[in-house]
Chains A and B, each alone.
Chain A
Amino acid sequence: MTGVEDTGPVVLARELAKSYGERVAVSGIDFQVPAGVCFGFLGPNGAGKTTTMKMIYGLATVGDGELRVLGMDARRERRRIKARIGVVPQETNLDGDLTVRENLIQQANYFGVSPEKAAPRADELLEFALIRDRADERIHALSGGMKRRLLIARALVNDPELIVLDEPTTGLDPQARLAVWRALERLRREGVTLLLTTHYMEEAARLCDSLLIMDEGRIVAEGDPPALIREYAGREALELDLAEECDPGALLESLGERANGHEFHDGALTLFADDAEELLRSLDHERFPTETAMVRRATLEDVFLRLTGRSLREGE
């Protein structure tokens, strides 16, 4: 992990924008990824996360604005940047004509390492990905979770200073997802800078030290997960399933400043407050009858809903 200290942030974007023909994918965003953290991009599909990642790892040209990766200009120093980062793409693109071990050795070869020198490192990485016993099998014999762990191992062959992960657990079952999270947590402890995109708020909350919420090509909020929740939702949420005769407008009016905010969806009212229990007790239950009431901790999902009026998973 050398060479980062003297060059400032690992990734620096100023007014970064990208369009594909008429379609605007990223419209002028500014952010900085400091060294040694896990930095997350949270947002729904089509928010511009993947395009931003692709500009960083060289699979999309930089549109407008400035993008510096490890201190280098992403427009002009693509080959040198790519030599020092690791990429876990959204789509599994392992080499199906090669075995598991050969995939790692061949990847090292793309980085200029000879097969003889790559072999011990490949064994280490197979150990890391918990697939050493599958080393000589073909890719199609692996489960989805194993393929994803192999993709992460493959991204480590060049000892990268920065690893970019585009939706590392999308499509995995909960157990496989947990295994991927553990692998990423191990990397973070080793001090590697992680940059990941996700539309799972549990993932963002668990892994990320710092988070940036994107929607429709723009950044809508930024901060560490607890601070974002405090700022945009409060500590807790009160979910009310309103009875038919209950008037939500009047209910909200009666609360005044006691709720930090609210969301109303199909007869379900979510109220945000630092103490939702207290808020529930203070409700006039005679005037505003409810079918059910539930107090829970506020989450990033609530933050996203409040910022955009939409759910993270909408349209999935």
Chain B
Amino acid sequence: MSYEPGYAGLGGGLGARDLIPSPRHAAAIWRRNARVFSKLWKGALLPTFLDPFFYLLALGFGLGTYIAHGINGIPYKEFVAPGLIASAAMWSSAFETTYNVYFRMNELRLYDNVLSTPIEPADLVAGDLAWSASRATVYGTVVLIVVSAVGLVSSPWAILIPPFVFVGALCISVIGYAFTSLIPKIDLYSYFFTLGITPMFLFSGIFFPFNQLPGWVEVVAWFTPLYHLVEITRGMATGPDPLQILINTAWLAAVTAILFPIPVRAIRARLVP
């Protein structure tokens, strides 16, 4: 048995009926993933606690001491901290919808079994995405607790961050899932991470603001989901502007909805030829 799935493309057009997930069936997929995570969470969460500490230490307390006046009137540590909530959610979503989904689909062959039960491709993708976003929300919330504990959050609105992390993680997850459902072999993930995730991590406004850079940099960043999630988490942590929060959330939700048919069609073309 080969573990290289090959390229199957997007297949023929699907009707609207095939693209709308059934919540009950999607929930069964979510529950399976949650059941597995519940066995592993202790080991999986510890690095999530440590990760933001290292970034804060190196950047906030290290590099930050050279940035005497802070950024836009905010101390550098407080500027970086909310971005780390968003980036934790991004890394979690990126790994879950690449390597983890790939492993379930192509090595465990779980989806062959799932799709021969009443679950259809749209339910499978929706359940996996909802799970990926849930997991990312757990990770983002852990970071929120860490940065709040060390006093880097100035606004009480920060307590509302987790549901927004869910929306942002959903958007990053659908991109990862689309990539996984289309790639012919596992090696291509290095492109996904090197050309997609890492630049997004560095250039989405987590570490520096855009106002000193050429205008086009922010325009490019605007097209990435992390930019919008960072805008939301920083707004919430430092004092939110409701209109800004609304616009960024709408961007994330709209892009998720627009991209959702891609993995559904690709999974169908690959597993139900």
Question: A residues bordering B, Cβ < 8 Å?
Answer: 20, 57-61, 78-80, 82-83, 87, 89, 91, 93-98, 102, 106-107, 109-112, 158
Contact = CB atoms under 8 A, between A and B. Distances in A.
Contact of A98 (B35, B115, B120, B271): B35
Given A60-B273, A61-B273, A112 B110 contact: no
A78 B115 CA distance: 10
Instruction: Using C-beta atoms within 8 Å of the partner chain, give the interface range for chain B.
Output: 20 to 34
B118 interface: yes
Contacts, number: 71
B117 A93 contact: no
Contacts of B110: 93, 95
Contacts of B112: 59, 89, 91, 93
Interface stretch (B25-33, B65-73, B199-207): B25-33
Contacts of B114: 110
Contacts of B1: 91
Contacts of B116: 57-59, 82, 87, 89
Q: Which 4 A-B pairs have the closest CB atoms?
A: A110-B117, A93-B109, A97-B36, A87-B116
A95 B111 CA distance: 10
Contacts of B271: 59
B213 to A, nearest CB: 45
Given A59-B112, A60-B272, A61-B273, A95 B32 contact: yes
Contacts of B31: 106, 109
B273 A110 contact: no
Contacts of B211: none
A110 B118 contact: yes
A78 B116 CA distance: 9
B90 to A, nearest CB: 24
Contacts of A110: 25, 28, 114, 117-119
Contacts of A78: 120
B39 to A, nearest CB: 8
8 contacts: A57-B116, A58-B272, A59-B115, A89-B113, A91-B109, A93-B112, A97-B39, A110-B117
A111 B117 contact: yes
B74 interface: no
Interface of B: 1, 24-25, 28, 31-32, 35-36, 39, 108-110, 112-120, 271-273
B242 to A, nearest CB: 40
The listed residue with most B CB atoms (<10 A of its CB), out of A59, A87, A89, A94, is A59
A89 B111 CA distance: 12
Contacts of A112: 24-25, 28, 118
A107 B29 CA distance: 10
B273 A79 contact: no
Nearest to A102: B35
A95 B120 contact: no
A79 B108 contact: no
A32 B32 CA distance: 37
A61 B108 contact: no
A82 B273 contact: no
A135 to B, nearest CB: 15
A270 to B, nearest CB: 35
Contacts of B24: 112
Contacts of B115: 58-59
A87 B113 CA distance: 8
Contacts of A91: 1, 109, 112
Contacts of A58: 115-116, 272
Nearest to B27: A109
A62 to B, nearest CB: 11
Contact of B117 (A80, A82, A97, A98): A82
Contacts of A94: 113
Looking at B24, B28, B39, the one whose CB has the most chain A CB atoms below 10 A away is B28
Interface centre among B24, B31, B115, B118 (most CB of A within 10 A): B118
B117 A61 contact: no
B42 to A, nearest CB: 16
A103 to B, nearest CB: 10
A59 B118 contact: no
A111 B32 CA distance: 13
Contacts of A59: 112, 115-116, 271-272
B32 A106 contact: yes
B234 to A, nearest CB: 36
A301 to B, nearest CB: 27
A111 B118 contact: yes
A96 B108 contact: yes
Given A61-B272, A61-B273, A112-B118, 6 more contacts: A59-B271, A78-B120, A89-B112, A95-B113, A110-B28, A110-B119
A91 B112 CA distance: 10
A109 B32 contact: yes
B112 to A, nearest CB: 5
Contacts of A106: 28, 31-32, 35
Nearest to A93: B109
A41 B35 CA distance: 38
A165 B271 CA distance: 19
Contacts of B272: 58-61
Contacts of B120: 78-79
Nearest to B116: A87
